[in-house]
């Protein structure tokens, strides 16, 4: 638990201080090609999904629900190149509520992105977060409706439903665009990284790896695998 | 008050303060998810609430002579064991004011057809009747006090009977410690309209769809006096139907009927063979509507207790109680809400030798308060209660209260 908290704390402090940490190539380098960091994140143990609380006051068994995908990890640069912050173009992202779960379970975005939270269930949901990086409550709304929230502050935002305590998701907000979410097989690919040497970190369900160095040449690629848990 | 109560109270306060004291340092380390074993087949959860308030000299919030709902350290552990898709065993153990843990719920849930939302529950089952009794957990209650219908003690008892209307009128507003001449003469607490503090034992069936749900049960006790083992050979039949015409709106209707007097009490009043005549019959209606940051609830219960007419002046006809409560909650900001509840409990009139009066003293309560989430599953609540009663020694009482709630 302590290690987990330290990992979360280190990530939060990192992303919060990204604009202050080291940068390597001068501004303008980002426009030129850049290289790729790719690899795989192996999970020795997949974090179990959050179960429903065993509520004895229900008159019958609760409806079936989907289980969150906890295999997805996020890989990101600990330090970003100069100019990365000017280059990022915040857009829109979607965190759906479907079968009493958030889809996707992990969302990685750049600061300034607006996230839509549509309700695709036939019941009410109430998205909220009490995280330092984003404290908000979207209220209760029904199927077919959507509420939005702009995430301006870098950090980890834990998102919950006020009605269904087993529903939760992570929104990782970065100051720069050099991050990637792993695919079904744990593979990731961070593209357009300016030439230089960087520290790279992998994260899964609140657990972070130690930073690992990666050197990128213009148009080149670096392979970097991680093992977590 | 029993010896040792003060000591227990201090223990409770000490435990709660220890929890409070640890909040700033450990706020992010408290578990927030249920504990799971055996690939999700065994799940444990818990609720802890510590409530603080000045002494309730009017016994407005007492659930028996020893326990006030506003001065309570309550610890609940809930467990679920799933045995395949058809069977589950659910149970809850509860301790109040660091007293011995006692089973609150223990039942087998059977789902005969996995594709159909039809369940049978057998054992000490959740209440079929009404709405509030299934959300008495502090995290589900926006305030600290309980609705009068589910907590306030009337003077009526299942094991002791007034011989006449005069005797019943003498006990107006003294439900926390009433005594009558027939059957058990020892003073003890009376019955609430519907108990939120213990669950009944029996069989329950529940069917649900997106639009409607229906529940029926046969149990040993009554809504005012749930039992583990039957004390009068009579069963209560209860039913509830709830519809959801639109998302966010729930309309419910409930009914229950069953003998409430113990066999000993009814025999001492009327002799053999009349157990089944002295019943509690109740009807209830409830509404819940929520949208955005609002939540509004309304609930009303009418309860008739039929008691033996023994001596003049006779208690002629059933003793009726009518309870109505309206509560609302509004989220002011993330993690911060305000809430209020207005509650009234009224009683029918009976005729005594000297006067005609309600058989118990009507009570009105206004409670306002709010809560702040220190973290998702750690909530600090405050409230202020204004109680008035048309009888008894204490007729008006204002009570501030605070509560710390933690769940996982």
User: What CATH number is associated with residue A128?
Assistant: 2.60.40.420
Q: Give the model's pLDDT for residue A48.
A: 76
Residues A196 and A120 in one domain: no
Which residue is associated with the tokens 């973290």?
Answer: B375
Domain stops at, among A174, A201, A219: A174
Residues of B with Cβ-Cβ distance to A57 under 8 angstroms: 105, 126, 134-137
pLDDT of residue A87: 55
Same-domain status, A203 and A151: no
Q: Please state the separation of Cα A28 from the chain's center in Å.
A: 27
Asked if B293 lies within 8 A of A50 by C-beta distance, the reply is no
Structural domain of residue B123, as residue ranges? 5-407
Q: How many CB pairs under 8 A join A and B?
A: 116
Closest CA to B61 of B167, B141, B126, B129: B141
Domain hosting A15: range is 1-47+66-80+190-229
pTM for the structure as a whole: 0.86
- Do residue B290 and residue A140 have CB atoms under 8 angstroms apart? yes
Q: Is A53 contained in some domain?
A: no
Please determine, for residue B142, whether its predicted confidence score (pLDDT) is greater than 80: yes
Residue by residue, DSSP assigns A46-106 as PPPPPPPP--TT-SSPPPP---------EEEESS--TTHHHH----EEE-EEETTEEESSE
Hey, what's the torsion of the CAs at A49, A53, A54, A57, to 10 degrees?
Answer: -150
Q: Which of B31, B36, B78, B334 to mutate to test the interface with A (most CBs of A within 10 A)?
A: B334
Cα gap A201→A2, rounded to integer Å? 19
Q: Quote the pLDDT of residue A13.
A: 39
In order of A143, B9, B66, B68, B193, the CA distances from B55 in angstroms are 47, 12, 12, 9, 24
CA distances from B374 to A164, A175, B294, B404 (A): 19, 28, 21, 10
- Assess contact for A138 and A117: CB atoms under 8 A: yes
Distance from the Cα of B87 to chain A's closest Cα (Å) equals 10
d(CA B149, CA B366): 14
**What is the distance between the alpha carbons of residues A13 and A16, in angstroms, rounded to a whole number?**
5
Q: Looking at the domain assignment, is residue A132 inside a domain?
A: yes
> Which of A167, A46, A161 shows the shortest CA–CA distance to A105?
A167
Q: How confident is the model at residue B5 (pLDDT cuts 50, 70, 90)?
A: very low
Among A68-72, B86-90, B232-236, B318-322, name the one with the lowest average pLDDT. A68-72
**Number of domain units in chain A:** 2
Shared domain for A153 and A219, answered yes or no, is no
Name the residue facing A54 among B28, B43, B207 (closest C-beta). B43
Q: A93 and A169 in one domain?
A: yes
- Two tokens, residue B21: 């004291």
Q: Do A54 and B79 touch (CB under 8 A)?
A: yes
Query: What confidence score (pLDDT) does residue A10 get?
Result: 40
Q: Which residues contact A4 (CB under 8 A, 6 or more apart)?
A: A206, A207
Query: Does A150 share its domain with A208?
Result: no
Do A169 and A211 share a domain, yes or no? no
Question: Domain holding B66: CATH number?
Answer: 2.40.160.10
The 10 Å Cβ neighbour count of residue B10 is: 11
Length of chain A as a residue count: 229
Minimal C-alpha gap between A13 and chain B (Å): 16
Domain count, chain B: 1
In a domain, A52, yes or no: no
Q: Do B376 and A60 touch (CB under 8 A)?
A: no
Chain-chain contact of A53 with B375 (C-beta, under 8 angstroms): no
Tens of pLDDT along chain A (229 residues)? 444 443 434 444 344 333 323 333 333 344 456 899 999 999 988 877 778 888 898 999 887 766 778 889 999 999 877 666 665 566 899 999 999 999 999 999 999 999 999 999 989 999 999 999 999 999 999 889 999 999 999 999 999 999 999 999 999 999 999 999 999 899 999 999 999 999 999 999 989 999 999 999 988 999 999 999 7
- Of the residues B25, B30, B33, the best mutation for testing chain A's interface (the one with the most A CB atoms within 10 Å of its CB) is B33
Contact B293 A48 (CB under 8 A): no
For residues B206-218, average pLDDT? 96
- Could you tell me if A109 and A148 lie in one domain? yes
The CA-based diameter of chain A, rounded to the nearest angstrom, is: 64
Quote ipTM for the complex. 0.82
């Amino acid at each position: 638990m302590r290690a987990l908290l330290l990992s979360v704390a280190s990530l939060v402090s990192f992303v919060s201080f990204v604009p202050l940490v080291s940068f390597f190539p001068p501004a303008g380098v980002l426009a030129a090609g850049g290289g790729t960091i790719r690899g795989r994140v192996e999970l020795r143990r997949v974090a179990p999904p959050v179960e429903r609380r065993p509520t004895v006051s229900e008159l019958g068994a609760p409806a079936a629900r989907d289980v969150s995908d906890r295999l997805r990890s996020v890989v990101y640069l600990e330090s970003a190149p100069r100019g990365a912050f000017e280059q990022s173009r915040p857009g829109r992202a979607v965190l759906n509520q479907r079968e009493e779960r958030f889809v996707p379970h992990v969302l990685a975005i750049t600061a300034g992105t607006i996230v839509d939270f549509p309700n695709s269930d036939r019941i009410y949901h109430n998205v909220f977060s009490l995280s330092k990086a984003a404290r908000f409550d979207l209220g209760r709304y029904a199927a077919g409706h959507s509420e939005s929230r702009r995430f301006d502050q870098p950090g980890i935002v834990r998102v919950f439903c006020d009605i269904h305590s087993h529903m939760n998701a992570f929104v990782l907000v970065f100051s720069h665009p050099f991050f990637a979410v792993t695919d079904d097989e744990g593979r990731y690919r961070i593209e357009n990284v300016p030439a230089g040497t960087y520290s790279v970190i992998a994260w899964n369900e609140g657990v972070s790896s130690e930073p690992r160095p990666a050197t990128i040449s213009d148009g080149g690629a670096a392979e970097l695998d991680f093992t977590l848990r | 008050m029993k010896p040792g109560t003060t000591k227990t109270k201090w223990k409770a306060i000490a435990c709660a303060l220890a929890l409070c004291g640890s909040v700033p340092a450990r706020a992010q380390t408290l578990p927030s998810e249920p504990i799971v074993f055996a690939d999700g087949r065994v799940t444990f959860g818990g609720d802890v609430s510590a409530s603080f308030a000045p002494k309730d000299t009017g016994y407005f919030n007492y659930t028996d002579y020893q326990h006030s709902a506003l001065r309570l350290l309550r610890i609940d552990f809930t467990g679920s064991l799933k045995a395949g898709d058809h069977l589950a065993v659910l149970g809850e153990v509860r301790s109040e004011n660091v007293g011995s843990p006692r089973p609150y719920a223990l039942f087998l849930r059977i789902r005969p057809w996995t594709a159909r939302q039809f369940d049978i529950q057998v054992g000490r089952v959740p209440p079929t009747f009404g709405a509030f009794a299934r959300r008495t957990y502090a995290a589900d209650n926006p305030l600290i006090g309980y609705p009068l219908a589910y907590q306030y003690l009337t003077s009526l008892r299942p094991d002791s009977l007034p011989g006449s209307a005069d005797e019943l009128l003498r006990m107006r507003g003294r439900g926390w410690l009433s005594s009558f001449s027939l059957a058990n003469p020892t003073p003890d607490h009376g019955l609430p309209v519907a108990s939120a503090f213990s669950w009944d034992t029996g069989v329950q069936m529940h069917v649900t769809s997106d639009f409607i749900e229906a529940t029926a049960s046969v149990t040993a006790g009554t809504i005012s006096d749930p039992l583990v083992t039957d004390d009068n050979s009579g069963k209560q039949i209860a039913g509830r139907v709830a519809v959801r015409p639109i998302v966010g709106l729930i309309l419910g209707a409930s009914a229950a009927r069953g003998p409430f007097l113990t066999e000993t009490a009814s025999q001492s009043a009327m002799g053999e063979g009349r157990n089944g005549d002295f019943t509690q019959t109740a009807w209830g209606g409830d509404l819940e509507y929520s949208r955005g940051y609002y939540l509004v609830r309304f609930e009303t219960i009418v309860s008739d207790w039929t008691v033996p007419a023994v001596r003049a002046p006779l208690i002629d006809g059933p003793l009726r109680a009518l309870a109505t409560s309206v509560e609302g909650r509004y989220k002011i900001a993330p993690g911060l809400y305000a809430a209020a509840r207005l509650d009234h409990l009224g009683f029918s009139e009976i005729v005594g030798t000297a006067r005609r009066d309600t058989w118990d003293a009507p009570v009105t309560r206004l409670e306002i308060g709010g809560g702040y989430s220190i973290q998702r599953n750690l909530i600090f609540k405050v409230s202020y209660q204004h109680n008035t009663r048309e009888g008894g020694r204490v007729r008006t009482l204002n009570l501030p209260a605070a509560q710390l709630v933690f769940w996982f």
